[in-house]
Structure 1
Amino acid sequence: MSQLKIAVIVGSLRADSFNRRLARAVEKLAPTEFAFSHIQIDDLPLYSQDFDAAYPAVATRLKKDIESADGLLFVTPEYNRSIPGVLKNAIDIASRPWGTNSFAGKPAGVIGTSIGATGSALAQQHLRNVLAYLDVPTLAQPEVFVHFKDELIADDGTIRSEGTAKFLQGFVDHYVAWVRRFAH
Protein backbone atom coordinates (compact mmCIF):
# COMPACT_ATOMS: atom_id res chain seq x y z
CA MET A 1 0.00 0.00 0.00
CA SER A 2 1.26 3.50 -0.76
CA GLN A 3 2.12 6.00 1.93
CA LEU A 4 -0.83 7.70 3.63
CA LYS A 5 -0.20 11.25 4.80
CA ILE A 6 -1.76 12.19 8.11
CA ALA A 7 -2.01 15.83 9.17
CA VAL A 8 -1.65 16.04 12.96
CA ILE A 9 -3.24 19.09 14.54
CA VAL A 10 -2.28 19.49 18.19
CA GLY A 11 -4.48 22.04 19.94
CA SER A 12 -1.80 23.03 22.46
CA LEU A 13 1.02 25.49 21.92
CA ARG A 14 2.79 24.71 25.20
CA ALA A 15 6.43 23.67 24.78
CA ASP A 16 5.92 20.57 26.97
CA SER A 17 2.47 19.76 25.63
CA PHE A 18 0.97 16.55 27.01
CA ASN A 19 -1.10 16.32 23.84
CA ARG A 20 2.00 16.50 21.64
CA ARG A 21 3.37 13.58 23.68
CA LEU A 22 0.13 11.69 23.09
CA ALA A 23 0.34 12.42 19.35
CA ARG A 24 3.89 11.05 19.24
CA ALA A 25 2.80 7.92 21.12
CA VAL A 26 0.03 7.27 18.60
CA GLU A 27 2.45 7.82 15.71
CA LYS A 28 4.82 5.19 17.11
CA LEU A 29 1.99 2.65 17.20
CA ALA A 30 0.90 3.19 13.59
CA PRO A 31 2.06 1.09 10.63
CA THR A 32 4.99 2.38 8.59
CA GLU A 33 2.84 3.37 5.59
CA PHE A 34 1.31 6.12 7.74
CA ALA A 35 3.40 9.29 7.54
CA PHE A 36 2.53 11.89 10.19
CA SER A 37 3.12 15.60 9.71
CA HIS A 38 2.48 18.09 12.49
CA ILE A 39 0.62 21.12 11.17
CA GLN A 40 1.85 24.49 12.37
CA ILE A 41 -0.88 26.64 13.91
CA ASP A 42 1.07 28.89 16.28
CA ASP A 43 1.78 31.58 13.68
CA LEU A 44 -1.75 32.09 12.39
CA PRO A 45 -3.48 35.45 12.71
CA LEU A 46 -6.95 35.52 14.23
CA TYR A 47 -9.46 34.71 11.50
CA SER A 48 -11.32 37.60 9.93
CA GLN A 49 -13.72 37.45 7.02
CA ASP A 50 -11.57 40.21 5.54
CA PHE A 51 -9.10 37.42 4.64
CA ASP A 52 -11.57 35.92 2.21
CA ALA A 53 -10.61 38.40 -0.52
CA ALA A 54 -6.86 37.70 -0.18
CA TYR A 55 -5.72 35.03 2.26
CA PRO A 56 -2.49 35.67 4.21
CA ALA A 57 0.39 33.40 3.18
CA VAL A 58 0.41 31.49 6.50
CA ALA A 59 -3.32 30.80 6.14
CA THR A 60 -2.84 29.57 2.57
CA ARG A 61 -0.02 27.31 3.82
CA LEU A 62 -2.36 25.83 6.43
CA LYS A 63 -5.05 25.14 3.82
CA LYS A 64 -2.52 23.43 1.52
CA ASP A 65 -1.12 21.33 4.37
CA ILE A 66 -4.62 20.08 5.18
CA GLU A 67 -5.54 19.52 1.53
CA SER A 68 -2.42 17.43 0.86
CA ALA A 69 -3.26 15.01 3.69
CA ASP A 70 -5.11 11.71 3.32
CA GLY A 71 -6.35 11.85 6.90
CA LEU A 72 -6.48 14.05 9.98
CA LEU A 73 -5.59 13.44 13.61
CA PHE A 74 -6.80 16.06 16.08
CA VAL A 75 -5.14 15.90 19.49
CA THR A 76 -6.69 18.40 21.84
CA PRO A 77 -6.50 19.50 25.44
CA GLU A 78 -9.56 20.89 27.18
CA TYR A 79 -9.60 24.56 28.10
CA ASN A 80 -12.57 25.75 30.17
CA ARG A 81 -14.67 22.75 29.07
CA SER A 82 -14.06 23.27 25.34
CA ILE A 83 -11.42 23.33 22.61
CA PRO A 84 -8.56 25.81 22.78
CA GLY A 85 -9.04 29.05 20.87
CA VAL A 86 -5.91 28.41 18.79
CA LEU A 87 -7.41 25.15 17.49
CA LYS A 88 -10.77 26.74 16.68
CA ASN A 89 -8.98 29.59 14.91
CA ALA A 90 -7.00 27.13 12.74
CA ILE A 91 -10.21 25.29 11.87
CA ASP A 92 -11.94 28.55 10.96
CA ILE A 93 -9.05 29.60 8.72
CA ALA A 94 -8.75 26.25 6.91
CA SER A 95 -12.50 25.98 6.33
CA ARG A 96 -12.89 29.40 4.72
CA PRO A 97 -13.62 31.25 2.51
CA TRP A 98 -17.05 29.75 1.95
CA GLY A 99 -16.89 26.96 -0.62
CA THR A 100 -13.19 26.18 -0.03
CA ASN A 101 -13.36 23.99 3.09
CA SER A 102 -9.97 22.23 3.17
CA PHE A 103 -11.26 19.61 5.64
CA ALA A 104 -14.26 18.31 3.67
CA GLY A 105 -14.32 14.55 3.20
CA LYS A 106 -11.05 13.86 5.03
CA PRO A 107 -11.30 11.05 7.59
CA ALA A 108 -10.35 12.10 11.10
CA GLY A 109 -9.61 10.81 14.55
CA VAL A 110 -10.09 12.91 17.68
CA ILE A 111 -8.15 12.18 20.86
CA GLY A 112 -6.83 14.13 23.79
CA THR A 113 -5.39 14.21 27.25
CA SER A 114 -5.59 16.42 30.28
CA ILE A 115 -4.55 16.32 33.91
CA GLY A 116 -8.26 16.31 34.81
CA ALA A 117 -9.99 13.02 35.60
CA THR A 118 -12.25 13.24 32.52
CA GLY A 119 -9.35 13.80 30.14
CA SER A 120 -10.59 16.05 27.36
CA ALA A 121 -14.09 14.59 26.95
CA LEU A 122 -16.00 17.86 26.57
CA ALA A 123 -13.42 19.43 24.28
CA GLN A 124 -13.58 16.37 22.05
CA GLN A 125 -17.38 16.50 21.94
CA HIS A 126 -17.29 20.18 20.94
CA LEU A 127 -14.65 19.44 18.31
CA ARG A 128 -16.71 16.56 16.91
CA ASN A 129 -19.68 18.93 16.53
CA VAL A 130 -17.56 21.39 14.55
CA LEU A 131 -16.08 18.62 12.38
CA ALA A 132 -19.54 17.20 11.62
CA TYR A 133 -20.58 20.60 10.27
CA LEU A 134 -17.40 20.74 8.15
CA ASP A 135 -18.17 17.36 6.51
CA VAL A 136 -15.29 15.56 8.21
CA PRO A 137 -16.05 11.85 8.69
CA THR A 138 -14.84 11.27 12.23
CA LEU A 139 -14.07 7.92 13.85
CA ALA A 140 -16.66 7.48 16.61
CA GLN A 141 -15.14 4.61 18.61
CA PRO A 142 -13.02 4.02 20.52
CA GLU A 143 -12.95 7.33 22.32
CA VAL A 144 -9.63 8.34 23.87
CA PHE A 145 -9.85 10.42 27.05
CA VAL A 146 -6.48 10.07 28.75
CA HIS A 147 -6.04 11.25 32.34
CA PHE A 148 -2.45 12.42 31.96
CA LYS A 149 0.26 11.83 34.52
CA ASP A 150 3.82 12.94 33.78
CA GLU A 151 5.25 9.43 33.96
CA LEU A 152 2.64 8.06 31.51
CA ILE A 153 4.22 9.14 28.18
CA ALA A 154 7.78 10.37 27.65
CA ASP A 155 8.59 13.47 25.57
CA ASP A 156 9.46 11.27 22.57
CA GLY A 157 6.13 9.44 22.75
CA THR A 158 7.37 6.32 24.52
CA ILE A 159 4.46 4.88 26.47
CA ARG A 160 5.51 3.83 29.95
CA SER A 161 2.33 1.99 30.91
CA GLU A 162 1.49 -1.39 29.40
CA GLY A 163 -2.24 -0.79 29.88
CA THR A 164 -2.08 2.61 28.17
CA ALA A 165 -0.04 1.16 25.31
CA LYS A 166 -2.62 -1.58 24.77
CA PHE A 167 -5.50 0.91 24.94
CA LEU A 168 -3.84 3.31 22.47
CA GLN A 169 -2.96 0.44 20.12
CA GLY A 170 -6.65 -0.40 20.00
CA PHE A 171 -7.43 3.18 18.98
CA VAL A 172 -4.65 3.18 16.37
CA ASP A 173 -5.89 -0.07 14.84
CA HIS A 174 -9.40 1.37 14.45
CA TYR A 175 -8.06 4.71 13.19
CA VAL A 176 -5.85 3.02 10.57
CA ALA A 177 -8.80 0.99 9.28
CA TRP A 178 -10.93 4.16 9.22
CA VAL A 179 -8.43 6.14 7.15
CA ARG A 180 -7.88 3.21 4.78
CA ARG A 181 -11.65 3.11 4.10
CA PHE A 182 -11.38 6.58 2.59
CA ALA A 183 -8.04 6.16 0.77
CA HIS A 184 -8.23 6.62 -2.99
Structure 2
Amino acid sequence: MSKKIVAIVGSLRKDSFNRQLAMKAKEITESEAEFEILDISDIPLFNQDIEYPAPEAVKRVRDKVKAADGVWIFTPEYNHYFPGVLKNLIDWLSRPISSEEGQVLGNKKIALSGITPGMSGTALSQDHLVVLLSFLDAKIMNVPRLTIPHAMNLLKDGKLELGNSEKYLIRQKDAFLKFLD
Protein backbone atom coordinates (compact mmCIF):
# COMPACT_ATOMS: atom_id res chain seq x y z
CA MET A 1 0.00 0.00 0.00
CA SER A 2 1.44 3.29 -0.99
CA LYS A 3 -0.46 5.70 1.28
CA LYS A 4 -0.24 5.92 5.02
CA ILE A 5 -2.93 7.68 7.07
CA VAL A 6 -2.82 8.29 10.79
CA ALA A 7 -6.06 9.11 12.55
CA ILE A 8 -6.32 11.31 15.60
CA VAL A 9 -9.44 11.04 17.73
CA GLY A 10 -10.06 14.09 19.89
CA SER A 11 -11.72 12.09 22.65
CA LEU A 12 -10.10 9.77 25.15
CA ARG A 13 -13.28 7.82 25.87
CA LYS A 14 -12.85 4.21 24.75
CA ASP A 15 -16.16 3.98 22.88
CA SER A 16 -16.62 7.64 21.99
CA PHE A 17 -18.71 8.44 18.93
CA ASN A 18 -15.63 9.82 17.19
CA ARG A 19 -13.51 6.77 17.99
CA GLN A 20 -16.27 4.60 16.53
CA LEU A 21 -16.39 6.87 13.46
CA ALA A 22 -12.62 6.53 13.09
CA MET A 23 -12.99 2.74 13.31
CA LYS A 24 -15.60 2.88 10.51
CA ALA A 25 -13.18 4.99 8.45
CA LYS A 26 -10.46 2.43 9.08
CA GLU A 27 -12.75 -0.38 7.90
CA ILE A 28 -13.55 1.35 4.61
CA THR A 29 -9.95 2.51 4.02
CA GLU A 30 -7.87 -0.56 4.93
CA SER A 31 -7.93 -2.10 1.46
CA GLU A 32 -6.65 1.12 -0.12
CA ALA A 33 -4.22 2.59 2.40
CA GLU A 34 -2.49 1.85 5.67
CA PHE A 35 -4.66 3.37 8.42
CA GLU A 36 -3.67 3.67 12.07
CA ILE A 37 -5.59 5.28 14.91
CA LEU A 38 -3.04 6.91 17.18
CA ASP A 39 -3.15 6.40 20.92
CA ILE A 40 -2.88 9.84 22.49
CA SER A 41 -4.03 8.88 25.98
CA ASP A 42 -0.51 9.16 27.42
CA ILE A 43 0.38 12.57 25.96
CA PRO A 44 1.21 14.88 28.88
CA LEU A 45 -0.02 18.45 29.11
CA PHE A 46 2.25 20.70 27.10
CA ASN A 47 4.93 22.21 29.32
CA GLN A 48 8.05 23.96 28.05
CA ASP A 49 9.94 22.61 31.06
CA ILE A 50 9.73 19.11 29.53
CA GLU A 51 9.77 20.11 25.85
CA TYR A 52 13.40 19.09 25.14
CA PRO A 53 13.86 16.25 25.00
CA ALA A 54 10.20 15.56 24.35
CA PRO A 55 8.50 12.84 26.40
CA GLU A 56 8.51 9.40 24.74
CA ALA A 57 4.76 9.50 24.09
CA VAL A 58 5.16 12.79 22.21
CA LYS A 59 8.12 11.46 20.21
CA ARG A 60 6.10 8.38 19.26
CA VAL A 61 3.14 10.41 17.98
CA ARG A 62 5.37 12.96 16.22
CA ASP A 63 7.21 10.17 14.41
CA LYS A 64 3.95 8.61 13.25
CA VAL A 65 2.55 11.94 12.05
CA LYS A 66 5.81 12.80 10.33
CA ALA A 67 5.90 9.44 8.50
CA ALA A 68 2.26 9.61 7.41
CA ASP A 69 1.07 10.92 4.06
CA GLY A 70 -2.00 12.36 5.75
CA VAL A 71 -3.71 12.91 9.08
CA TRP A 72 -7.44 12.33 9.50
CA ILE A 73 -8.79 14.10 12.57
CA PHE A 74 -12.03 12.97 14.19
CA THR A 75 -13.15 15.69 16.55
CA PRO A 76 -15.97 15.97 19.03
CA GLU A 77 -17.47 19.36 19.75
CA TYR A 78 -17.44 20.56 23.33
CA ASN A 79 -19.14 23.92 23.91
CA HIS A 80 -18.79 24.89 20.22
CA TYR A 81 -15.05 24.10 20.22
CA PHE A 82 -12.71 21.17 19.79
CA PRO A 83 -11.59 19.36 22.95
CA GLY A 84 -8.64 20.36 25.10
CA VAL A 85 -6.99 16.97 24.57
CA LEU A 86 -6.83 17.69 20.83
CA LYS A 87 -5.54 21.23 21.39
CA ASN A 88 -2.86 19.86 23.71
CA LEU A 89 -1.71 17.35 21.09
CA ILE A 90 -1.62 20.03 18.39
CA ASP A 91 0.43 22.24 20.72
CA TRP A 92 3.00 19.43 21.02
CA LEU A 93 2.96 18.75 17.28
CA SER A 94 3.35 22.46 16.49
CA ARG A 95 6.63 22.76 18.34
CA PRO A 96 9.96 22.31 16.54
CA ILE A 97 11.40 18.86 17.09
CA SER A 98 14.91 20.28 17.40
CA SER A 99 17.02 23.21 16.23
CA GLU A 100 17.45 21.35 12.91
CA GLU A 101 13.90 20.04 12.48
CA GLY A 102 10.70 22.06 12.46
CA GLN A 103 7.21 21.05 13.50
CA VAL A 104 5.51 18.07 11.85
CA LEU A 105 2.23 19.68 10.77
CA GLY A 106 3.68 22.05 8.17
CA ASN A 107 2.53 20.92 4.71
CA LYS A 108 0.84 17.87 6.25
CA LYS A 109 -2.38 16.95 4.45
CA ILE A 110 -5.35 16.78 6.81
CA ALA A 111 -8.98 15.66 6.61
CA LEU A 112 -11.56 16.60 9.25
CA SER A 113 -14.55 14.59 10.42
CA GLY A 114 -16.76 14.58 13.45
CA ILE A 115 -19.92 13.28 15.03
CA THR A 116 -21.83 14.71 17.95
CA PRO A 117 -25.10 14.20 19.80
CA GLY A 118 -25.96 17.84 19.09
CA MET A 119 -27.21 19.58 15.97
CA SER A 120 -23.97 21.08 14.60
CA GLY A 121 -22.32 17.77 13.74
CA THR A 122 -18.98 19.34 14.84
CA ALA A 123 -19.02 22.03 12.14
CA LEU A 124 -18.00 24.72 14.63
CA SER A 125 -15.15 22.71 16.15
CA GLN A 126 -13.91 21.85 12.66
CA ASP A 127 -13.98 25.54 11.67
CA HIS A 128 -11.82 26.35 14.71
CA LEU A 129 -9.45 23.54 13.78
CA VAL A 130 -9.14 24.94 10.25
CA VAL A 131 -8.03 28.29 11.69
CA LEU A 132 -5.42 26.68 13.95
CA LEU A 133 -4.13 24.16 11.40
CA SER A 134 -3.93 26.82 8.67
CA PHE A 135 -1.79 28.95 10.97
CA LEU A 136 0.53 25.93 11.31
CA ASP A 137 0.72 25.67 7.49
CA ALA A 138 -1.09 22.33 7.29
CA LYS A 139 -2.85 21.53 4.02
CA ILE A 140 -6.50 21.03 4.93
CA MET A 141 -8.92 19.23 2.66
CA ASN A 142 -11.86 21.59 3.14
CA VAL A 143 -14.19 19.74 0.77
CA PRO A 144 -15.65 17.45 1.74
CA ARG A 145 -15.58 17.69 5.49
CA LEU A 146 -17.81 15.28 7.37
CA THR A 147 -20.17 16.54 10.07
CA ILE A 148 -22.66 14.07 11.53
CA PRO A 149 -25.28 15.40 13.98
CA HIS A 150 -27.68 13.55 16.30
CA ALA A 151 -25.32 10.67 17.11
CA MET A 152 -27.72 9.16 19.62
CA ASN A 153 -30.08 8.34 16.75
CA LEU A 154 -27.34 6.28 15.09
CA LEU A 155 -26.69 3.92 17.99
CA LYS A 156 -27.79 0.32 17.96
CA ASP A 157 -26.99 -1.58 21.15
CA GLY A 158 -24.43 1.09 22.01
CA LYS A 159 -22.60 0.79 18.68
CA LEU A 160 -22.53 3.37 15.94
CA GLU A 161 -24.46 2.44 12.79
CA LEU A 162 -23.97 5.19 10.21
CA GLY A 163 -26.94 4.30 8.01
CA ASN A 164 -27.38 7.03 5.37
CA SER A 165 -24.28 8.87 6.64
CA GLU A 166 -21.98 6.04 5.55
CA LYS A 167 -22.02 7.22 1.93
CA TYR A 168 -20.63 10.59 3.10
CA LEU A 169 -17.81 8.88 4.98
CA ILE A 170 -16.99 6.87 1.85
CA ARG A 171 -17.08 10.04 -0.25
CA GLN A 172 -14.70 11.75 2.17
CA LYS A 173 -12.36 8.75 2.18
CA ASP A 174 -12.24 8.72 -1.63
CA ALA A 175 -11.57 12.46 -1.73
CA PHE A 176 -8.84 12.22 0.92
CA LEU A 177 -7.04 9.43 -0.92
CA LYS A 178 -7.04 11.61 -4.07
CA PHE A 179 -5.93 14.62 -2.00
CA LEU A 180 -2.93 12.60 -0.81
CA ASP A 181 -1.69 12.06 -4.39
By the TM > 0.5 criterion, same fold?
A: yes
Inter-CA distance 38–154: structure 2 relative to 1 (3 Å threshold) = farther
Question: Over residues 104-150 of structure 1, what are the superposed CA-to-partner deviations in whole Å (9 max), with x where a residue is unaligned?
Answer: 11111001010001111111011111111111101111121101434
Q: Aligned in 2, Cα 1:47/1:138: closer, same or farther, shift over 3 Å? A: same
Identity of aligned residues (%): 35
Specify the code of the residue in structure 2 equivalent to 1:29. I
- The answer for the alignment partner of 1:7 in structure 2 is 6
Contact 2:109 2:140 in 1 (8 A): yes
Q: CA RMSD for the aligned pairs?
A: 2.2
CA contact (8 A) 1:75 1:110 kept: yes
Decide whether the 8 Å contact of 1:25 with 1:153 is kept in 2: no
**How far apart, in 2, do the equivalents of 1:109 and 1:38 lie?**
14
Q: Is the 8 A contact 2:94 2:136 kept in 1?
A: yes
The separation in 1 between residues aligned to 2:156 and 2:137, in whole angstroms, is: 34
* 136-145 or 23-32: bigger deviation: 23-32
Q: Mark the runs of 5 or more structure 1 residues left unpaired by the alignment.
A: none
Q: Hey, what does 2:39 align to over in structure 1?
A: 40
> What is the total number of aligned residue pairs between the two structures?
178
CA drift of 1:153 comes to: 6.0
Does the 8 Å contact 1:22/1:153 carry over to 2?
no
Shift of the alpha carbon at 1:151? 5.5
Cα distance change on mapping 1:13 and 1:158 into 2, 3 Å: closer
Shift of 1:52: 3.2
Structure with higher RCO (Cα < 8 A, 6+ apart): 1
Q: For 2:40 and 2:105, locate their aligned partners in 1 and report how far apart those are by CA, in whole Å.
A: 15
Residue 176 of structure 2 corresponds to: 175
Q: CA deviation at 1:30?
A: 2.5
SS in 2 for 1:53: coil
Matches within 5 A, 1:57-96: 57-96=56-95
Render the CA deviation track for 1:13-47: whole Å, top value 9, x for unaligned.
Answer: 11220001111222222261311111121111110
Conservation of the 8 A alpha-carbon contact between 2:74 and 2:113: yes
Q: Give 1:59 deviation, angstroms.
A: 1.4
Residues 177 and 81 of structure 1: CA distance in aligned 2, closer, same or farther (over 3 Å): same
Separation (CA, whole Å) in 1 of partners of 2:150 and 2:114? 9
- Provide structure 2 residue ranges, at least 5 long, that are not aligned to the other structure: none
Inter-CA distance 62–160: structure 2 relative to 1 (3 Å threshold): closer
TM-score by length of structure 1 reads: 0.87
> What secondary structure does 1:87 align onto?
helix
Structure 1 CA distance for aligned equivalents of residues 122 and 140 of structure 2:
16
